[in-house]
Structure formats: C-alpha cells, structure tokens
A and B are shown apart, each in its own frame.
Chain A
Amino acid sequence: MENVVELKNVTKAFKGFSVKNMDLQVKKGFVTGFIGANGAGKSTTIKLMMNLLKPDAGEVKLFGLDYKTHEKAIKERIGFVYDGNVFFEGLNLKDIKRIVSPAYKNWDDIIFSEYIDKFQLPLHKAIKTFSKGMQMKASLAIALSHHAELIIMDEPTAGLDPIFRRELLNLLQELMVDGNRTIFFSTHITTDLDRIADYIAFIHGGELVFNQSIHEIAENYALVKGGVELLDRDTEKDFVHIHRTSAGFQALTDNMKAVKHTFGDMVVIERASLEDIMYNFKGGMHHV
C-alpha cells in the first residue's frame, strides 16, 4: 500500500519535551486519526510533516519526496487546517483568498465559492469577527479549494459545537469518496474517530504507540476483568496497564489472543474504546 506521509526514525527535542524515534506512515486513500493526550506531541508531529519544524534526526517524506528538494511541489498537494486561526485576522475572506489563491497552481475559484455558499460564510467581514466554528469553516474552505491530495488538520474539531462537529465529519466523509484523497487529522475527541477513521495513530509521551486500522485495534486491544488471584508475573505480561481493586482487576491488553489463551473463560473480555486505550496509557506503559 502506498504511503503519502513517511516519517522514519524522526527525533525532535525541545526543552523538557521531545518526539523520539517516530516511525509513522500515513496510507494513501484513507482517513488516519491521530490521537494522544494534550502535550503528547501531536502538533509537533504535524509541524514536522509541514516542514514548520525540522527534525534533529531522521527523515520526513511526503508523496515520496523530501522537503529539501521538493518543498513547493509537496505543499502544492497539501491542504492544511490548524487549531487556531493563522489567517490575517483583520482581513476579510475575499482578501485572504486574494493572498492565498495565487500561491497554488491548482486553485479553483468555483470550488471555493461553492464552499463559501455551503458554509454560509460572509466574504466581506473581518475574520476576527468570526466565531470559532466559522473560522474553522473558513480554513477548511481554503484548504479544500486547490485539489489537495492530502489534508492535514490539527485538532479541527476542538472547540466546535457537536452539530458542526458532525457536519464536519460528514463533509470529510464526502471528500473521501474520491479515492485519491488522504486525510490525516489529530484530535483528542476520540468519538470523532469511530465515525470516520480507517487508521488510528496513537502517540504518547512523544512516542508512537501504534498505528493500526480500526479493525486491528478491535482485534488486539481489549479490556479484561477478573479476579486478582489470576494475576502473577507470567499472566501480567500481556497487559499494558492493570488497575486492581478489592473486587478484582481491570486491565488493558494489546494482545487479546494471548489473553484468551491464558485465561480462557475465567475473565470477562470487553471491547476497549479508544478512550479506554488512551486512559490506560496515561500512567505510562507498564509491561508489568
């Protein structure tokens, strides 16, 4: 399968925080959701993909090209949406379009006006008067109007009301009908992903924990409940995190098959939601 984004062994260190040995592939034609707690390194990773940050070590490739020699060609093919407004806030959408559109060879005014109509955005009002949702719609309209093959979004749903969040997710789904598009977006609202993501990449403490299809995650990860007497050094191996109470234990496993094999019917195995997975990783990975 073709990868649109490829991070190989990428490391980027800051004071007190770093992204370490990141190996991440984003597959062409799919929606990849990028999850992790606040401060896990999601925005840093996205900035590395956009060449806003340069890695200390490792390799970043988009569409098989590297930024050193093909920066413009790569960015022509990306539509970006950031968490905050990056457009000149004193300008109206019409002027912003006049600044942004000449940058792209494939800019399409017709598509842009379609989105403006669809999102009911005013062209002559300053961006700073827009609500958070309208600002998001405006960035989205700009990101989608140059036939980008890859849409990168940093927390697009943060701060949006549930109705618009759902509209946005529907819109993203519509975009994916064209099989050449790839969407990569970060979020900490995991319920967004159940609806549209094909792959989930999970980052924790600057390290990529996994990048698997929704299907694989459902096969591998599970919540396991049972009596504490079942736990010992050997059986604990298959758990990522164990929570013990007097009544028994609840644990997250990343190897459901092994757990079934070890415990059989003595434990209850439940589907782990993405939130369960994120929560159980919070205390750090304990392969106890």
Chain B
Amino acid sequence: MFNLIRRDVILQKKQLLMFIPFILFFIIMDAHPALIFLVASIFIPFNTYAYDEKAETNILLNSLPYTRREIIASRYLGAIVYMVLAVGVTSLALAAFNKSFSMTDIAIGSGLFLLFAALTFPLFYIFKPGYISAAVMIGFLFLAGVGPRIVLFIAEHTTAITDFIASLSTPALYTGAAAAITALYAASWGVTHIIYQRKAF
C-alpha cells in the first residue's frame, strides 16, 4: 500500500518541479496563508487523478497484486500524507519569506482541503473520465471565488445558526469542525470504496 502512495511521487516528478514556484507565486502575491496551505495540499492528490481517471491505469493497478480496498485506501491515506508534506514545505517557504502564519492558518487550510477532497474524490469514480478533472478544478476556482460570499450571505440571513456558532467557545468550534470534517472524510472514503468495488474495467 505504501507503494501505491509512493507511486504518486514517481508519476509526478516533473510536476513537482512546478510545486515550489507555484507556492512562491502565491506567497509573493501575498495570499492569505490559509489559502496557500489549501492550494499546496491540493497539488499532488488531485494531480494524481489526472492519471487515475484513465481506464488503463485502473486496469494496471487492478491487475497488480493489489485489492480494490487498498487502491482506494491509498488515495485517501495518500491525500493526508501529501497534505502533511505540503504543509511542511509551505511552512518552510513562508518562514523563508518572513511571512507570518499561525497554527490556525494551517488548521483552516488543511480542514478546507480535507473537506474539498471528501466532496470530490467520489466524483472521480462516478463520472466519465476526461471531464472530471476539469470540472473539479473549475468547481474549486468557483467555490474559492464565490464561496466566501455565499457563506457571508448565509451568515447574515440565518441568524439562528450564526448565533449558535458565535456562542461556541473557540476550542469547541474548532473541535466541532475537526470532528465534522473527519466524519465527512471517513464517509467519503466509505462511499468511494463501495463505488470502486462495483466498478468494471
């Protein structure tokens, strides 16, 4: 299984050269640190899908001594592994440029990444290859652009929820969010697992 996770690095050697300039671009543009953590985390796991959505890749992986359970597990565990690595590299880059960031930024960036991954990973196994990568990327940019406004809109118009959230203490808020995201990630894993078991190649 470790091999399946390591595979992503071998596949993306060339793209990885882009990784650093990619992060630096965001840092120089003075983007919010949480956003940089999010974007950096997305880089490897979603690039992998550009390969994995191809039927041939699935035929190859499933003909090797791996089970379908392992293939999906490597996606979900791999995303976490690469997220941690990306956060590490990004932290170093931020520190090198003397940009301040907090643990909260890391938590928000990682949390949003996991949320995004949980929502989109199953789609890669539902939709036809060729469309999904583009759809997810557009979806991401759209959400990044419009998402905050929607949240603000909801916050203003549904005061009951806002009041409830505001009434929570900061630790409770973070713990709650972490628990919710973990649960969603686990549920997403379960759904993808079931979809993949039934897939024909």
Residues of A within 8 A of B (CB): 47, 50-54, 71-73, 75-76, 78, 80, 82, 84-88, 91, 95, 98-100, 102-105
Comparing B53-61, B147-155, B166-174, B178-186, the segment that makes contact with chain A is B53-61
Q: How far, in whole Å, are A98 and B57 apart by their CA atoms in the complex?
A: 15
Residue of A nearest to B56 (CB): A86
Task: Check A75/B201 contact, CB under 8 A, given A99-B7, A99-B10.
Answer: no
Cβ of B66 within 8 Å of any chain A Cβ, yes or no, is yes
Q: Report yes or no: A86 in contact with B65, Cβ–Cβ below 8 A.
A: no
Q: Report yes or no: B62 in contact with A50, Cβ–Cβ below 8 A.
A: yes
Cβ of B98 within 8 Å of any chain A Cβ, yes or no, is no
Q: Report yes or no: A84 in contact with B65, Cβ–Cβ below 8 A.
A: no
Q: Report yes or no: B200 in contact with A98, Cβ–Cβ below 8 A.
A: no
Cβ of B11 within 8 Å of any chain A Cβ, yes or no, is yes
Q: How far, in whole Å, are A47 and B59 apart by their CA atoms in the complex?
A: 9
Q: Report yes or no: A51 in contact with B62, Cβ–Cβ below 8 A.
A: yes
Which residues does chain B contribute within 8 Å of A104, judged by CB atoms?
64-65
Pick the residue among A52, A72, A91, A95 that contacts B201 (CB under 8 A): A52
Task: Check A52/B62 contact, CB under 8 A, given A98-B10, A103-B3.
Answer: yes
Q: Which of B174-199 contact A (CB under 8 A)?
A: none
Cβ of B51 within 8 Å of any chain A Cβ, yes or no, is yes
Q: Report yes or no: B3 in contact with A76, Cβ–Cβ below 8 A.
A: no
Q: How far, in whole Å, are A91 and B10 apart by their CA atoms in the complex?
A: 9
Contact with A along B50-84 (1 / 0, CB 8 A): 01000011011011111100000000000000000
Q: Report yes or no: A103 in contact with B65, Cβ–Cβ below 8 A.
A: yes
Top 5 A-B residue pairs of the complex, sorted by shortest distance between their CB atoms: A75-B65, A102-B3, A103-B64, A86-B60, A52-B201
Q: Report yes or no: A76 in contact with B59, Cβ–Cβ below 8 A.
A: no
B113 to chain A, nearest CB (A): 25
Q: How far, in whole Å, are A270 and B201 apart by their CA atoms in the complex?
A: 43
Q: Report yes or no: A85 in contact with B63, Cβ–Cβ below 8 A.
A: no
Q: How far, in whole Å, are A26 and B67 apart by their CA atoms in the complex?
A: 24
Q: How far, in whole Å, are A235 and B197 apart by their CA atoms in the complex?
A: 52
